[in-house]
Amino acid sequence: MKQILLLSLALATFLTLSTDASSFSTDTDQGAVAAVPLIVNPHYKRNTPAHIQKLNKRYPDIKIQAGGGDNGIVSSGITGRVAIANVNSDLEYYGTVKVGTPAQLLRLNFDTGSSDIWFPSTACSTPACKSKHHTRFNPSSSSTYKKDGRPWKVEYGDGSVVSGQLASEIINVGGVQVRQTVGLATNVSSQFKNSPEDGIFGLGFSALMSVKGINTFMDNAIKGTLKQPLVSVFLPSSRRNGGQGGHVLFGGIDHSRFNDKLHYVPVTQKGYWQVKLDAFKVPVPSSSNSTGNDARKPIEISLQNQDAIIDTGTTLIVLSTTAAKKIHSSIPGSTLHPELGWLVPCTLRNRRHPSSSSSSSSSSINNKEAIAFKLNGKCFHVPLADLAFEAVEGLGEKGEWCLSGVQGGQEGLWILGDVFIKNHYAVFEYSPENPRVGLSPLKN
């Protein structure tokens, strides 16, 4: 990923999922909780243009351009924790999932911006599938594999293609097991050859499923013995904790990761995790007339009829062209490159960031060190240090310019990706009537 946006695999309307829920492992007699840990992968090579094209395919209403507490649920069941890998300094995240019997281990990208599950099978012989970076699932080695036979195919905006046949198999995430209809790829185009993950684990709603009428993994898990109908996400930040210790927690909430109560934001439309965005705030640039104790409040820009997607499968924050310009105009030294998009001085990484161990109210945040997004009446901050995302090679002095963690697109649906999420503990609650997202600033 070398140019505009640095997006993780923004995979859209591909594959297919699920059937009936199966047996679950049991941690307690209270219900199931499963967590997937995140692990660091230092070998991934970035390809920004391809990821931007995939994002355009995934969200047709957006054209990315350069410059452009307790949740009240009472239930029984188990939970599951899965560690997730932080790839190349917060570029994207994946975790290890067990597939089949005996279990075969696959690295899947946990993606709240899609709903399908897919990975390559041993029947795939394209160079991307046979790459040393990837593991292929072997159906003949699994006693629980069931052939479906229906074909599926996904095409992306960069010309990449994934296709194959559907199958039914046992999927195990941190101890939570579900029999699921998945896509087994028999053809994967070359654009995926160096991707660090083997496939995708969608966490969106059923409306995003490639094949209508098929349940998502979470639909089936909730029907089973999952302790609570939710998934919690802790994305580790390279700046905060060296990119270590992240997880996706199925059916539970790890309250040790945050101090404040969770603040819930209603989902406005089931499909993506789409929420209403009230406003955003930008810091007031220092001036020659300001004192050392400049307490001027940040500038708040109110929004009308503006929705945003909270998406673990997208690396950056993607806003309208106007909003991106407003944010960068508040950051001294920011510039709009005609090919690379918004750039900021890499020295921004050294700026003191807001304390996430205290309340996220504006009074507790250094106004000059963060931007903020107001969701359901509460502001959630992103330190300016996180906007200096990746140093640009061959432009100015070495380490002078960094690609910004905020980029512009067209007016319409905005995306709060990993640059936003990694500063907060995020809970995606699949309530049938009132789904919502819970957010709280992470502990330092």
Contact (CB, 8 A) for 93 and 44: no
Rounded distance, CA 164 to CA 127, Å?
Answer: 15
- Do β-strands 104-111 and 199-202 pair in parallel, antiparallel, or remain unpaired? parallel
Quick one: tokens of 258? Answer: 């945050």
Q: Which of 5, 30, 29 is nearest to 91 (CA)?
A: 5
DSSP 137: B
Q: Rounded to an integer, what distance in angstroms lies between the CA atom of residue 199 and that of residue 105?
A: 12
Tell me the one-letter amino acid at 426.
Answer: A
Strand (E) or helix (H) holding 168: strand 161-173
H/E stretch holding 428 reads strand 424-429
Residue of 311, 243, 194 lying closest to 86 (CA atoms): 243
Region label for 370, one of left (φ > 0), alpha (ψ between -120 and 50) or beta (otherwise): beta
Q: Report the first-to-last Cα separation within the chain, whole angstroms.
A: 29
Positive or negative torsion for Cα 427, 380, 241, 133 = positive
156, two tokens = 């992306």
**Do residues 371 and 282 make contact, with C-beta atoms less than 8 angstroms apart?**
yes
The structure tokens listed for 399 are 């380490």
The pair of structure tokens assigned to 73 is: 């649920």
Residue matched to tokens 């432009």? 395
Query: Which two three-digit tokens encode residue 110?
Result: 């946990």
By the 8 A CB rule, do 357 and 374 touch? Answer: no
Which residues belong to the active site? 111, 311
Q: Strand 401-404's sheet: what is its strand order?
A: 335-337, 341-345, 401-404, 388-391
Which pair of tokens denotes residue 81? 């924790």
